[in-house]
Copies of this chain bind each other. A is one copy, B any other.
Amino acid sequence: MPDFSRRSEAPAARGPGGAAFSPLYRQIKDLIVQSLDRGEWKPGEAIPSELELAARFQVSQGTVRKAVDELAADHLLTRRQGKGTFVSTHHEPRVRFRFLRLAPDEGEPSPTESRVLDCRRMRATAEMARSLDVRPGDGMVAIRRVLSFSGIPAIVDDIYLPVALFKGLTGELLEHYSGPLYGLFETEFGVSMVRAEEKLRAVAADDEYAGLLKVAVGTPLLRVDRISYTYADRPVEFRTGHYVTDHYHYRNSLN
């Protein structure tokens, strides 16, 4: 017999603008997200089987399945038939392309080389405070790097992170690391980027960016402002990228 009592401990207490109740599978989903957030299961690891989770949460396998289905659709989890369900990790090339949208106009996406130019401490600006979950003046880490495609610089990224979450992040650490930055964040600091919101604009290259990207001053660049979110939709990264689009383009799908 279904037990719907769990469905809404405070049944129709939906105040003005307040949230309504949520179905069981969504509550299960939230519990799984909390476990991910706590680091109970690490990226790359398998989570318990559906039957185990069903027993743990005292629901049917079908309800767990629907919760996991949504988490897989959100790319928090990855299902592998016959093997199990795994926590998604940025150490898979597949994931990288979800967050790196610049692609060459012709040919295959060649491997990218990252060169860190700077890594220093600073204080959060008003804009950062609005975007992230910090207050103006809070400690931040600022990273500047250049991404190149087959030796040709294509992207300058200016990345800002709350120092509270990224203690011990230094230029040294970044030097000794190869692979996607989000992979480093994940393994070194336990911060997994799950999704991001971007705003794109066309701007003219100033002296600084022109020098870094080896293009003429005034060259049109694609400016990408990004806010990245981790589990439970907490914003944890503020980033501005400047992309050269002479032989590359930003690919996007409208669904």
Q: Which residues of A contact B (CB under 8 A)?
A: 73-75, 98-99, 101, 195-204, 218, 220-223, 225-226, 243, 245, 249-255
Contact = CB atoms under 8 A, between A and B. Distances in A.
A197 B253 contact: yes
18 contacts: A195-B253, A195-B254, A196-B253, A197-B253, A198-B251, A199-B249, A200-B222, A200-B245, A200-B250, A202-B202, A202-B203, A202-B221, A202-B222, A218-B218, A220-B221, A222-B222, A225-B249, A226-B254
Contacts of A200: 200, 222, 245, 249-252
A61 B245 CA distance: 49
A252 B223 CA distance: 13
Contacts of A101: 254
A201 to B, nearest CB: 4
Given A220-B220, A222-B222, A198 B253 contact: yes
Given A75-B255, A255-B98, A220 B203 contact: yes
A204 B215 CA distance: 14
B204 A74 contact: no
Given A196-B254, A200-B249, 16 more contacts: A73-B73, A195-B254, A196-B253, A197-B253, A198-B251, A198-B252, A199-B249, A199-B251, A199-B252, A201-B222, A201-B245, A201-B249, A201-B250, A202-B220, A203-B245, A218-B218
A220 B204 contact: yes
A13 B99 CA distance: 37
List the 9 closest A-B pairs by CB distance, nearest first.
A202-B220, A201-B245, A202-B202, A200-B250, A220-B220, A199-B249, A196-B254, A202-B222, A198-B252
Contact of A254 (B98, B221, B245): B98
Chain B CB within 10 Å, residue with most, of A99, A101, A201: A201
Contacts of A226: 254
Contacts of A75: 255
Chain B CB within 10 Å, residue with most, of A198, A225, A226: A198
Nearest to A245: B201
Given A99-B254, A220-B221, A245 B196 contact: no
Contacts of A225: 249
A235 to B, nearest CB: 13
Contact of A255 (B195, B204, B243): B195
A209 B201 CA distance: 17
A82 B73 CA distance: 26
